[in-house]
Amino acid sequence: MTTLLHLNVSPRGERSHSRQAGSVVRERLAAHRGPLTVIERDLGAEPLPPIDAAFTDANLAVAAGGDEQAPALMLSERLIAELESADMVLITTPIHNFTVPATLKTWIDVVVRPGRTFRSTPQGKQGLLRDRPVLAVVACGGAFHDGPGSQQDFFTPYLKYVLGTIGLSRVEVLRMENMNRGSDPVARSFDHLRAWCEAAVPAMVD
């Protein structure tokens, strides 16, 4: 059975377009791969605590060869274990101010750790986790294009780069744009999502 780690990021509950999109993707994954074992990590409903000095000191100690089981690292180890046990990852999230929301950034900061999920080499950082597909569905209030009034997308290049740092190189991102511009753009975005699922899901998870 396939294990899916699902990171839900929006704090808006059932009103969230990205949460609704997550249900669509999960249905397509189950149709393609059979029943899923889902690890739910709801960062919107249960945000992670901010990084503090105890975590930072313990994290640096591990990078220098210290104990991975320090109390300040217990939450990090649990989140990394969820990631390690998953065959694939689904991230459903809004964009906040052109990039990742603070709750998702905290998750990244807690799992991207020197000496634990990546190591530094003369050739640069090398991921220590097994690669697996990551599907990210991103709800955007506005539009991203080359014309006037376009927004810049700092989310996609950042997410691909930072996950690549820990070994996750198979990252696909779908932006659902103009989600605050009325029902017609929302309907078009969900049509686009379903078409994307038909193409991206088999290509990513086979």
How far apart CA 160 and CA 130 sit, in angstroms, is 15
Q: For residue 6, what is the enclosing H or E element?
A: strand 2-8
Query: Exposed, middle or buried, 123 (CB in 10 Å: 0-12/13-18/19+)?
Result: exposed
Q: Does 183 show up as a binding residue in the annotation?
A: no
Give the list of residues 6+ apart from residue 84 with CB closer than 8 angstroms, or none.
129, 130
Please say whether the beta carbons of 151 and 143 come within 8 A. yes
Q: Does 16 show up as a binding residue in the annotation?
A: yes
How far apart CA 15 and CA 126 sit, in angstroms, is 39
Q: Does 17 show up as a binding residue in the annotation?
A: yes
Q: Does 32 show up as a binding residue in the annotation?
A: no
In terms of Cα–Cα distance, which of 18, 48, 155 is closest to 96? 155
In terms of Cα–Cα distance, which of 135, 146, 202 is closest to 175? 135
Please state the residue numbers annotated as binding site: 10, 16-18
Give the residue numbers of the binding site for FMN. 10, 16-18
